[in-house]
Structure 1
Amino acid sequence: MSHKPLAGRRVIEMGTMIAAPFATHILSQLGAEVIKVEPLTGDTTRALVRGGPSGTFIAYNHGKKSLAIDLTTADGRLVFHKLAETADVVIHNLSPAATKKLGITAEDLAKDNPDLIYCHVRGYSAGPMHDGLATNPVAEAATGVMDDHRIDGRPSRLGPSYHDQFAGAYAVIRVLATLMNPAPTPEEKYIEIGLYETGLHIASRDLAGVQLKTQLLGRPEKEAGGEFAMPGYGAYQTQDGRWIYLLILTDAHWRKLSQGLQMPEADDAQLAGLRERKKQRERVEAAVRRAIGSLSYEAATEKLESAGIGFTEVLPLERVLEAPQARHPGKLRTLEFGGLKFDVPEFPGDGAIEPGLAPPHLGQHTLEILEQLGFDDGACANLLEESAVSVHADKDHVWAPRK
């Protein structure tokens, strides 16, 4: 069994939905012990699908331990502050107001543990909107993504919550950098990752591009993506209704495609260069649609492979994990939770899957952690009786049966 780089490190997560749980998911995969501190009602994602956990909870919370605490009680706060004394890192994405109300700001926890690295994933970092609230779609709307993604002309959010996940990944990078610092200052141990600032950084290529075009052309204009700039680059439907995404980036790609599919346009010298193909975009697009649309999926892929063209099928979610590449050893972790079985993609880069914990039931590790913190049986019983903490019960967060 390999030695994970964060083995022996304790991370406290107070997270809900995606951003903070995604960050601690990565830290857990790197070997950290992650204690998921939840309210007695549990993380919101425990009860989003028929009264039970959503895919978000299953995918990003396996390998963690659950400690259920009521932080609105004095005894609950006592438990949490004793836990903070033992931790290396705290990561959360609670609202700024909730953080202050519960007494778990960076200043509060520094009194318990001066060495603690404190990471707050929030709507905005420093600036006029510092205490404002932002969610994934707010970040998309405020940083140009939503304006570029319209459905029937209406600005719309992307499907997946990529800004939440990017923010979680950025949090991990900052935490790891601080852990590598032999003598971080108090300021360096306090990390803020804003969803808005995450969105700005993700959009930096496009923001720089529109400035470039404005100065060159005297008007704002987007730098077109590949699908809009290069004819033949995009998704095309086969005769039997499946979709193939073609990677036609260069003149050589176009030559291989047009010849490999025996397109009449292969002999048109005017289309040999990208500039002319752009000028005749509609003609080229129609030609590629006809060529792919006249073939079955199997026939099209055979011709594309023979021609050396880069392509892939556009897969619906229910078929993604059927792909041989996805099933290759080291890619998927098999989990059992709530009587159901799941294949969950593993954090990439390792190539080996070591045994780990399934997603925790709410409060599953409460007593174990209390004992580690020095609470004896009597103290644990009192905490439970006062509802300052809770333990797992079989009735917690189960899926309603299908009718």
Structure 2
Amino acid sequence: MSTPPLAGRRVIELGSMLAAPFATHILSQLGAEVIKIEPPIGDPTRALVRGGPSGTFIAYSHGKKSMCLDLSRPEGREALYQLLMNSDALVHNLAPKAARKLGVSRVDCERVNPKLIYCHIRGYAAGPQADDLASNPVAEASTGVMEANRVNGRPSRLGPSYHDQFAGAYAVIGILASLLRDQQTATAEDRHVEVGLYETGLHVASRDLVAVQLKQHLLGRPEREPHGEFAMPGYGAYLTRDERWLYLLMLTDGHWAKFCEAMRLPYGGDPRYATLKMRKKAREQVEDMVRNAIAAHDLDAVQATLKSHGVGCTEVLPLERVLEAEQAHQPGKLRTVEFRGMGFDVPEFPRAGADSDGIGTIAPAELGEHTREILQSLGLGAEKIDALLESGGVQAHKPGSFAWAAVRETA
């Protein structure tokens, strides 16, 4: 069993919702000790489902310790600063104005610990909108994603908060890059990691943004590429005879030939459909061929046939069936997490050796569950700890907080 790459590193999270908690979740799964700092009202994800913790909280906050601090009080800040003096990194996604108000700006934290890696995930990085608020949907709206994703003609968010999670992953990359530097010569700038949701959105959309410019150069006018699955006939979801959806991977001429062979269609060698360019010109005919071929079979049978001929395909699964797949239950794919007497199969951060590297976890913590333990680890005496707890700036767990409302009627 090897030593986890971030073993012995302490990371402080001042995060809410998703971006910062997702980043520290990854760091935790790489072996770091993560301490989640929350205000007395808790991270909003603690109360998203019938007044209690949500799937977001359980999935991305297991493995972390919880400390409850009221940073509007001097005692809360004092406790945080004591903690930062004994930590390697701080990750937060507070709004810039809130960070300054609560005393956790970059300047504040560098004053406390000059060697601290300071990671700020914010709406916008440096620029005229640096203090503007942004969220995942705002990033989608401002970087071209939302305009192309319409529901009944209205621009709509994608659903999952991918930009938050991309930003969290980019933050991890920045922190790891900082840790790789020679710490004897590293500067304050080397320890500063800043990720904007807006800038994350730009980077994720760069392929499409460059493609528009390419058409401007070639055609003299901006013109967007069609969505991938609509640009390539046979690449998309098709309904089977037993009314299940099968998603086909039809990217190349080789894929098309294999599909025709598997489905015993006479078009594999037909020169009218030999190349992708030709199939695009005959889009409607090709789509009809594929649609009718799939509709003539039940999903399990056609999927087996296609896979035996090397055609990429998969069933379009509803969430409640995703973890039924044998692939999902191979070693290192899922971890059982216990929370309030319930067991959850939580997907692991994907890495080689996840089933044998010895990186453990703890149940998602109740708010302030580890407050006293963490204060003791800082070398504070019982009298000092009691004084901090009595001040209200530092709080321990209160039993019964964030309970779920009843979900079943009793007989």
What band does the TM-score fall into relative to the shorter chain? over 0.9
Displacement of 1:75 in angstroms is 0.9
Kindly state the Cα deviation for residue 245 of structure 1 after the two structures are TM-superposed.
Answer: 0.8
1:396 aligns with 2:401: yes
Structure 1 SS opposite 2:366? coil
- In structure 2, the residue matched to 1:76 is 76
Q: Which residue of structure 2 aligns with residue 103 of structure 1?
A: 103
SS of alignment partner, residue 37 of structure 1: strand
CA distance in structure 2 between the aligned counterparts of 1:348 and 1:2, rounded to whole angstroms: 17
Rounded to whole Å, the distance in 2 between the matches of 1:351 and 1:291 is 41
1:331-358 Cα offsets, whole Å, 9 max, x none, are 0010110222110000111333433211
Mapped partners of 2:212, 2:279: distance in 1 = 24
1:282 is matched with: 284
Please say if residues 206 and 222 of structure 1, whose CA atoms lie closer than 8 Å, have aligned partners that are also in contact: yes
| TM-score between both structures, scaled by the size of structure 1 | 0.97
| 1:235 aligned partner | 237
Q: Determine if contact 2:348/2:354 at 8 Å carries over to the other structure.
A: no
Amino acid across the alignment from 1:40: P
Q: What is the alpha-carbon distance in structure 2 between the residues aligned to residue 384 and residue 26 of structure 1?
A: 31
Looking at structure 1, the residues matched to 117 and 354 of structure 2 have their Cα atoms a distance apart, in angstroms, of: 29
Larger CA deviation: 340-349 vs 298-307: 298-307
**Equivalence for 2:390:** 385
Q: Give the aligned partner of residue 148 of structure 1.
A: 148
Q: CA deviation at 1:155?
A: 0.9
CA contact (8 A) 1:265 1:287 kept: no
How far apart are residue 266 of structure 1 and its match?
Answer: 4.2
1:272 is the counterpart of 2:277? no
- Matched ranges for 1:310-329 at <5 A: 310-329=312-331
1:298-317, aligned counterparts within 5 Å?
298-317=300-319
Structure 2: gaps spanning 5 or more residues: none
Provide the secondary structure at the position in 2 that maps to 1:120: strand
1:170-210 residue CA offsets vs partner (Å, 9 max, x unmatched): 11111111111112211222221100000011111111111
Instruction: Please give the alpha-carbon distance, in whole angstroms, between the structure 2 residues aligned to 1:350 and 1:397.
Output: 36
Matches within 5 A, 1:1-400: 1-182=1-182, 183-266=185-268, 268-353=270-355, 354=358, 355-400=360-405
Q: 1:262 Cα deviation (Å)?
A: 2.1
Deviation at 1:268, TM superposition (A): 3.5
Deviation of 1:133 (Å): 0.6
1:243-271 C-alpha deviation (Å, 9 max, x unpaired) = 11111112221122122112354463311
* TM-superposed deviation, 1:305: 2.1
- Counterpart-to-counterpart distance in 2, 1:271 and 1:190: 54
Q: How far 1:88 sits from its partner (Å)?
A: 0.7
CA contact under 8 A between 1:121 and 1:193: conserved in structure 2?
yes
Worse-superposed segment, 294-303 or 6-15: 294-303
1:129-152: per-residue Cα shift (whole Å, max 9, x none)? 011111001001111111111112
Deviations 1:209-266 (A, max 9, x none): 1100111011111123431221111111101111111111122211221221123544
Cα offsets for 1:142-167 (capped at 9, x unmatched)? 11111111112211110110000000
CA distance in 2, matches of 1:212, 1:50: 49
**Whole-Å Cα distance in 2 between the matches of residues 74 and 302 of structure 1?**
65
Question: 2:12 is paired with a residue of what secondary structure?
Answer: strand
Unmatched 5+ residue regions in structure 1? none
- Structure 1 position 104, deviation (Å): 1.0
Q: What is the distance in 1 between the residues matched to 2:217 and 2:324?
A: 48
Cα distance in 2, alignment partners of residues 287 and 31 from structure 1: 52
SS at match of 1:380: helix
Alignment coverage as a number of residue pairs:
403
Mean CA deviation greater in 120-129 or 185-194: 185-194
1:200 counterpart SS class: helix
User: Could you tell me how far apart the structure 2 residues matched to 1:103 and 1:14 are?
Assistant: 12
